């Protein structure tokens, strides 16, 4: 199991990839998600440099694709750009040596009935383009989403997987909790979610962890783990003895600090 922050932790007043990776490793963390949420703007040379540093430090990298993606948009231009954003992120991930990219696939908008088909179409185009480029080492991870108006339940993602090779779910536990208006109340609730998720994962299960503020429509904002919405100790207790390889990326406001807090919820991984 690997634990780390969503983004480069700030050193002083700013983040610096090289120093942030070393800081992450010094905290005893061994994963990091590079946030390309505004666009995958990185040269091949720069990506290779950062990727080699991460490799030397034994930090498992993943990447988050831009937030603008929506394969169910009413605007053809947005759908075309969504393909570009996914492909650009996957290329950057390939150059970094990252194993997976995280994608917010769509909003339901005015036509929720078309969302599944349009996501399948969009992801198929992305996969074909990447195959043509010879990039087959990056998993296309569709994230479970926290707002009821967004595409991204485990059931929906499973249906995309039935049609598009190379797609896997990314389980944002807090998003599921928010979408279900506080549905992960007990350890059994969490166990049921993990059982459903593990039916879909490949060699590595990719998690986003945090706590969350929610309302009737689902997600409002991410919160520190101390808020216990949901109680992430349930997840640690369930997975402590699991043989499943897992990556846990912390998206709380305290990205590296709460990554350590969550790691230390696992007796088997606690650093003394």
Model pLDDT, residue 10: 85
Share of the chain above pLDDT 70, in %: 98
Distance, in Å, from the CA atom of 255 to the CA atom of 157, rounded to the nearest integer, reads 26
Domains of the chain: 2-263 (3.20.20.150)
pLDDT exceeds cutoff 80 at 191: yes
Is 9 strand, coil or helix?
A: coil
What percentage of the chain reaches a pLDDT higher than 90? Answer: 94
Extract the tokens encoding 176.
């599921």
Instruction: Give yes or no for residue 272 having a pLDDT over 60.
Output: no
Q: How many residues does the chain have?
A: 272
The residue-averaged pLDDT of 82-103 equals 98
Residue by residue, DSSP assigns 213-264 as EEETTEEEEEE-GGG-SS-THHHHHHHTT--SEEEEEE-SSSHHHHHHHHHT
**Tens of pLDDT, residues 32-76:** 999 998 989 999 999 999 999 999 999 999 999 999 999 999 999
Chain-wide mean pLDDT for the chain?
A: 96
- Return the number of other C-beta atoms located less than 10 Å from residue 101's C-beta: 29
pLDDT of residue 243: 94
d(CA 128, CA 131): 5
């Amino acid at each position: 199991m690997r634990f780390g922050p969503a983004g480069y932790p700030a050193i002083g007043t700013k983040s610096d990839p090289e120093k942030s990776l070393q800081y992450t490793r010094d905290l005893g963390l061994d994963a990091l998600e590079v946030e390309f949420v505004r666009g995958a703007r990185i040269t091949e040379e720069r990506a290779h440099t950062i990727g080699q540093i991460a490799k030397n430090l034994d930090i498992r990298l993943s990447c988050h694709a831009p937030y603008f993606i929506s394969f169910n948009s009413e605007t053809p231009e947005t759908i075309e750009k969504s393909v570009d954003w996914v492909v650009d992120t996957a290329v950057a991930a390939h150059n970094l040596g990252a194993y997976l990219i995280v994608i917010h696939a769509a909003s339901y908008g005015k036509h929720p009935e078309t969302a599944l088909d349009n996501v399948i179409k969009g992801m198929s185009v992305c996969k074909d383009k990447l195959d043509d480029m010879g990039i087959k080492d990056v998993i296309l991870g569709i994230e479970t989403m926290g707002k009821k108006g967004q595409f991204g339940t485990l059931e929906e993602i499973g249906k995309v997987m039935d049609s598009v090779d190379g797609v896997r779910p990314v389980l944002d536990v807090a998003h599921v909790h928010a979408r279900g208006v506080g549905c992960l109340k007990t350890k059994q609730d969490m166990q049921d979610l993990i059982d459903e998720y593990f039916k879909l994962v490949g060699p590595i299960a990719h998690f986003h962890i945090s706590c969350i503020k929610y309302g009737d429509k689902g997600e409002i904002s991410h919160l520190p783990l101390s808020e216990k919405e949901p109680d992430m100790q349930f997840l640690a207790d369930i997975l402590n003895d699991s043989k499943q390889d897992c990556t846990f990326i912390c998206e709380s406001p305290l990205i590296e600090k709460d990554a350590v807090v969550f790691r230390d919820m696992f007796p088997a991984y606690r650093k003394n």
